Structure 1
């Protein structure tokens, strides 16, 4: 099905648009850098953000942060937690947690509370923020494909949102991880599309129908 993109009812949701996923100075660039560059993720996210602004679609960020106390005292870490904690990824005290300059929030950007696990629907306020603003459909993009993006997708669908995932506005720790995410998007999302396919729909305030 095609997801309806309607001002007031649709949000562009970008997960983790931060230095530690999207810039060469990232502490995990050796894991994600190749596919970030191959997919032109930064440029595509900017295109989506700009199209959403033009079309009156609200933009939400679901960021990832950790504090020093959490690095020092958390137990029960899973594999991805361990990588992030070993590298101090998304350290609130460092530059890696900053939003990339190209996607610096403005007065029209809703920045949700940080998600501490992979899904913001469990560990931040994103569900409340979207519902309180009348949003029922999401255009989803950001980092990383098989982790935070896929987790946000799963929980958004379970919470009753319609979700379109932008497949070239995300990346992962290698091509195999990215391929696995794409496979799962095909089963879980209501629609998948590329940046070039989505931006006209965001910018022109069109409502997509299944007959289009």
Structure 2
């Protein structure tokens, strides 16, 4: 893991927060009972808030990449993964419900960018994430959120293939189990990321935009 990553130009870098939604993070969220212990262990709520605030202060745009499901969302998918079938059957991240809304302390603020809702693990697939990034001249994507081994990793893999410089933040992600979390941090992120660092390491390496 790199603790002193290369410089991040504020004008060409974006933080992408993946799935900071009530069904994960709120006490009454449909998945909170399962992931809650790991959220507590990683201190994810506070880490994501600190990351978003630090990025905004440094002039780095914050992108939100939320999950979202609805009736018929997988009608054209011949082989639906059981965990997604469970999500549909239980209306997890169901669009129009409180569970699919952003966790209040992490709601987007003025100037943030909210992209279309992804349905599986890749925040690029079927959304406008790539278009929104390229429209702003973004070359470096810094990934955080939920979950370590699924949507964060899946989005990072796509970002790599699409030609972005990819950074994973090890202390701004969480997963349902320690095993899945560690597999992402120790195996997947060093494989698919140009940099694997911490919130502090990233923020310390941001190069502010030149004064107008």
Taking structure 1 as the reference length, the TM-score comes to 0.89
Structure 2 Cα separation of the partners of residues 161 and 73 of structure 1: 30
TM alignment of 1:56-135, pairs within 5 A: 56-70=59-73, 76-135=79-138
- Provide the alpha-carbon RMSD of the alignment: 2.0
2:204 pairs with 184, 200, 204, which one? 200
Change in Cα spacing, 1:73 to 1:164, as seen in structure 2 (3 Å) is closer
SS in 1 for 2:116: coil
Change in Cα spacing, 1:157 to 1:72, as seen in structure 2 (3 Å) is closer
Change in Cα spacing, 1:3 to 1:154, as seen in structure 2 (3 Å) is farther
SS in 1 for 2:73: helix
Give unpaired runs (5+ residues) of structure 2.
none
What is aligned with 1:51?
Answer: 54
Change in Cα spacing, 1:123 to 1:196, as seen in structure 2 (3 Å) is same
What is aligned with 1:155?
Answer: 158
Choose between structure 1 and 2: higher helix proportion: 1
Give unpaired runs (5+ residues) of structure 1.
207-212
Q: How many residues align?
A: 205
Structure 2 Cα separation of the partners of residues 3 and 128 of structure 1: 25
Q: Is the 8 A contact 2:68 2:94 kept in 1?
A: yes
Moved over 4 A (4+): 71-75
Taking structure 2 as the reference length, the TM-score comes to 0.89
Change in Cα spacing, 1:161 to 1:73, as seen in structure 2 (3 Å) is closer
